């Protein structure tokens, strides 16, 4: 209970994180529709880009910070390394199953793709032809994570997936190695600073882990956080078009901190509409681009087409939710299976190294140190 208002949790994590993800996914779609892909005019695109709800590039950095927080908060609350191993073992599966399903949708809709010659220039690099089943499987299971290339991408926004997968592994490794150390926050801050110089996305993950560690110690903050949030939202208007995270991180971190630690902000992201957006956040991120390449480009350019495109994307994302949940369920099962299997093999391996040295086996029984007897 914070300031008379509860901060609710579901399945061990802060429920408002889903709402924050949901608004971020909506921001990405609105950005792609009204700013980068089908702007009504250059002036309108420039104005909307400076409004946080239409700044999808900034939303991606919020995603990275949220991922670092959500992947580590459970560990800081319980200290359970086994849980981290389970999540880590299932992370690829969690991402790959929904991506495979979304890629299959692109494959099925291949005949409806607008020909390259009829597209705007910015859309002529990706999805240049109806993909084959082999190309679909390659992209979904391998290319999107390890060899992303815009020319072979079936879902262009998934340039973020290599960062998501590798960033998650960095989080898990850090938690396992230094998560229980006294100076872990200082070490994580050093990691964030080092990554910031060359790989800002991984710096955002580290910042999310730091926020989780701080949140366990300071779970509630007062009204001053609203001022910080207001300044952060206004600062979005000052971000350059090609920021590449250099400044976005410094704005995303306080927004995530306020969302999980201030009662008023937390309550907003925990409202039913925000939670619904959170439920469809990953499906919306995965599936909105195929609507662009099949419907939006085939229709007359204008506000009506843009609105219809967004509505169709929301409907498709809602229908896709069961597949997203399947990915979550299978990844949890897979993580438990791998960790349990490893645990079952460990005793036999450890017994090999617990065997006494041959020289010790020859010591007479009378020379062995007797076991201590309980007192009394």
Q: Which residues of 55-89 are buried (b: 16+ CB within 10 A; e: fewer)?
A: bbbbbbbbbbbbbbbbbbbbbbeeeeeebbbbbbb
The sign of the dihedral angle between the CA atoms of 37, 41, 45, 51 is: negative
What pLDDT is recorded for position 345?
80
- Domain presence at residue 343: no
Do the domain assignments include residue 1?
A: no
Cβ–Cβ under 8 Å, residues 357 and 128: no
Determine contact, residues 245/200, Cβ cutoff 8 Å: yes
Distance of alpha carbon 187 from alpha carbon 185, whole angstroms? 5
- Alpha carbons 12 and 317: distance in angstroms, whole number: 25
In a domain, 4, yes or no: no
Q: What is the DSSP letter of 44?
A: H
From residue 261, how far is each of 5, 16, 220, 291, 333 by CA, in Å?
11, 10, 5, 37, 31
Encoded tokens for 182: 């006294």
Q: Which SS3 state, helix, strand or coil, does residue 162 take?
A: helix
Residue 153 lies in a domain: yes
Decide: residue 368, CB within 10 A, 0-12 exposed, 13-18 middle, 19+ buried: exposed
- What percent helix, strand, coil does the chain show, rounded to 5? 75, 0, 25
Three-state DSSP class for residue 10? strand
Q: Which of 321, 65, 43 is nearest to 205 (CA)?
A: 65
| Listed residue (45, 43, 24, 26) closest to 34, CA to CA | 45
156 contacts 113 by C-beta, under 8 angstroms:
no
354 lies in some domain = no
What's the pLDDT at 243?
66
Task: Fill in the DSSP letter of residue 2.
Answer: B
9-10/13-14 β-pairing: antiparallel
Distance (Å, whole) CA 158 – CA 137: 15
The tally of CA atoms less than 13 A away on the side-chain side of residue 43 is: 0
Q: Tell if the pTM clears 0.85, that is, is over it.
A: yes
Q: Report how many domains make up the chain.
A: 1
In this structure, is residue 375 part of a structural domain? Answer: no
pLDDT along the chain (376 residues), means of 10: 41 72 96 94 92 93 96 91 93 97 96 91 89 96 94 94 97 94 94 94 96 92 90 88 80 94 90 94 96 94 95 97 97 94 69 44 43 43
**Cβ atoms of residues 133 and 106 within 8 Å:** no
Question: Strand, helix or coil at 5?
Answer: strand
CB atoms within 10 A of CB 199: 16
Distance separating alpha carbons of residues 277 and 285, to the nearest angstrom: 11
Locate 88 and state its tokens: 């880590």
138 neighbors 147 (Cβ within 8 angstroms): no
Rounded Cα gap, residues 336 and 340, in angstroms: 6
* Domain range for 26: 9-330
Partners of 10 in beta bridges: 13
Task: Identify whether 3 is part of a domain.
Answer: no
The answer as to whether 301 is a domain residue is yes
**DSSP string of 303-331?**
HHHHHHHHHHHHHHHHHHHHHHHHHHHHH
DSSP for 54-95 reads G-HHHHHHHHHHHHHHHHHHHHHHH--HHHHHHHHHHHHHHH
């Amino acid at each position: 209970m914070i300031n008379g208002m509860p901060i609710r949790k579901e399945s061990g994590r802060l429920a408002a994180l889903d709402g924050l993800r949901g608004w971020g996914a909506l921001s990405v779609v609105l950005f792609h529709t009204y700013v980068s892909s089908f702007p009504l005019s250059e002036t309108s695109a420039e104005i909307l880009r400076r409004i946080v709800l239409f700044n999808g590039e900034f939303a991606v950095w919020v995603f990275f910070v949220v991922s670092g927080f959500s992947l580590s908060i459970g560990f800081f609350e319980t200290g359970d390394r086994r849980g981290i191993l389970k999540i880590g073992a299932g992370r690829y599966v969690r991402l790959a199953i929904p991506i495979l399903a979304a890629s299959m949708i692109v494959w099925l809709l291949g005949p409806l793709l607008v020909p390259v010659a009829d597209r705007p220039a910015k859309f002529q690099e990706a999805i240049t032809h109806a993909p084959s089943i082999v190309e679909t499987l390659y992209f979904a299971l391998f290319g999107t994570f390890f060899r992303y290339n815009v020319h072979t991408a079936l879902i262009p926004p998934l340039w973020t997936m290599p960062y998501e997968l590798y960033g998650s592994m960095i989080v898990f490794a850090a938690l396992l190695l230094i998560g229980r150390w006294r100076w872990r926050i200082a070490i994580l801050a050093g990691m964030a600073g080092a990554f910031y110089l060359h790989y800002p996305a991984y710096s955002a993950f580290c910042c999310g882990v730091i926020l989780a560690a701080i949140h366990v110690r300071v779970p509630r903050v007062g009204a001053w956080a609203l001022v910080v949030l207001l300044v952060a939202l206004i600062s979005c208007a000052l971000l350059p078009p090609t920021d590449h995270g250099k400044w976005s991180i410094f704005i995303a971190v306080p927004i995530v901190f306020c969302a999980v630690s201030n009662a008023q902000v937390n309550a907003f992201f925990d409202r039913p509409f925000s939670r619904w957006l959170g439920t469809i956040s990953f499906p919306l991120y995965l599936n909105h681009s195929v609507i662009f390449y099949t419907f939006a480009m085939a229709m007359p350019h204008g506000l009506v087409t843009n609105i219809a495109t967004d509505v169709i994307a929301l409907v498709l994302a809602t229908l896709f939710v069961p597949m997203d949940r399947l990915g979550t369920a299978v990844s949890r099962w897979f993580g438990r299976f791998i960790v349990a299997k490893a645990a079952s093999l460990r005793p036999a391996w450890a017994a090999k190294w617990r065997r006494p040295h041959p020289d010790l086996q020859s010591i007479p029984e009378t020379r062995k140190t007797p076991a201590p007897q309980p007192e009394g």
